[in-house]
A = this chain, B = another copy of it.
Amino acid sequence: MSYNTFGHLFRFTTWGESHGPALGVVVDGCPPGIAISVEDIQRDLDRRKPGQSRFTTQRREDDAVRILSGTFEDERTGGQKTTGTPISMLIENTDHRSKDYSEIRDKYRPGHADFTYHQKYGIRDYKGSGRASARETAARVAAGAVARLVIPEVKIRASLVQIGPHKIDYANFDWDQVDQNPFFCADPKAAAMWEGYLDGIRKDGNSVGAVIEVVAEGVPPGWGAPIYGKLSADLASAMMSINAVKAVEIGAGFEAASLTGTENADEMRAGNAGPYFTSNKAGGILGGISNGDPVVVRFAVKPTSSIITPRQSVTVENENTEVVTKGRHDPCVGIRAVPIGEAMMAVTLADHFLRHRGQTGRDGGVGY
């Protein structure tokens, strides 16, 4: 069962709400003996943190992480290393300014999970949306930072590739640009254009959706499994579990529907280090198993539902009303989803690495 747990061998459980004293994550199944430091975790958390540009919420959360268990001193280095037991990480909620919930307390906000939570649990956690808050994603990012240490040879990066109707031009794609603009965007020209576009959206009190592309290089062939344990199926679940995500694709994705067999199947050639593919329509996954090419996943994030434009809704007493969501909200939640997508890629791959090693005794394919 996986209400709040993700993964099988490398697995983590998150907990906490934005209105409570803290949130956190327990990572279980991490291999022992891996060097780890708070900085390894904090680095990734800082990239997800709100308030880093005018395009993300101005809420102030330090997101300072503490490691409470699962590490021990490494006498050789003086640092810490994992022990193979649960790594519990905790982040305190520091933004405790008292809020006025009277506007939303008795109303369902359109596009939010207010109505469905109430239906499921019979409880309205109207303060900060309970577990539906995007704050939960900080816990994922912490787990993802640990996962990266488990598979250090795999390089995981992500870029925003579309914001509203505006897509990047892959001809301009340069990973080094990702940290040079407020959008985690690998196309500097697109990023420049988006600034003006998103300013307009923000000033209108509106919001907009986005598409994120996550790429993992260095994945050996052999990770994944043929049927319900497909690497692609677990990545789909991983990305779709992120708040506001409505679509996931691997490699050519939906575009593959329009292609013919001659166009779509990546051809192979003999290389010095073994066979290689001349293209990567497959996105690095064939039959649910990694093929050695970069694993490429894209996912779509819907526009922030919290907008200041009035929307029609109903009260918890089933009376018609209007909702205006005030407060400090991201005009495009897709921006902060970039490091979250990286984290979910990392945890999924780390889990499949251990699962593959358990069954086969090998770290990768037979020829590697």
Contact = CB atoms under 8 A, between A and B. Distances in A.
A269 B318 CA distance: 8
A232 B302 CA distance: 14
Interface in A85-135: 85-88, 90, 108, 110-113, 115-123, 125, 130-132
B20 A68 contact: yes
Contacts of A281: 302
Interface in A233-282: 233-241, 243, 245-271, 274-275, 278, 281-282
Contacts of A164: 257-260
A5 B225 CA distance: 12
A33 B234 contact: no
Given A20-B69, A249-B246, A208 B302 contact: no
Contacts of A29: 1, 3, 359
A40 B230 CA distance: 29
How many identical chains are in the complex?
Answer: 4
B85 A131 contact: yes
Name the residue among A8, A162, A233, A246 with the largest chain B CB count within 10 angstroms: A246
B28 A4 contact: yes
Interface stretch (A44-52, A55-63, A175-183, A360-368): A360-368
Contacts of A318: 270-271, 274-275
A241 B268 contact: no
Nearest to A307: B261
Contacts of A309: 261-262
A67 to B, nearest CB: 9
Nearest to A256: B302
A121 B32 contact: yes
Interface residues of A, number: 161
A1 B355 contact: yes
A243 B287 CA distance: 7
A354 B364 contact: no
A165 interface: yes
Interface stretch (A9-17, A151-159, A185-193): A9-17
A328 interface: no
Interface in A280-299: 281-283, 285-292
Name the residue among A20, A112, A236 with the largest chain B CB count within 10 angstroms: A236
A320 interface: yes
A171 interface: no
Given A125-B83, A228-B2, A248-B248, A334 B237 contact: no
Contact of A33 (B121, B224, B245, B283): B121
Contacts of A260: 164, 201, 206-208, 303
Given A209-B259, A253-B300, 11 more contacts: A1-B29, A4-B229, A13-B13, A16-B68, A16-B86, A33-B121, A206-B261, A233-B238, A247-B253, A262-B307, A278-B312
26 contacts: A15-B86, A15-B87, A15-B88, A20-B69, A24-B88, A31-B360, A32-B121, A72-B125, A85-B130, A108-B275, A111-B266, A112-B287, A113-B289, A115-B275, A116-B289, A119-B364, A162-B257, A206-B260, A209-B264, A228-B237, A246-B251, A248-B248, A252-B302, A265-B303, A267-B311, A275-B318
The 6 closest A-B pairs by CB, nearest first: A113-B287, A358-B358, A111-B265, A119-B365, A247-B249, A207-B261
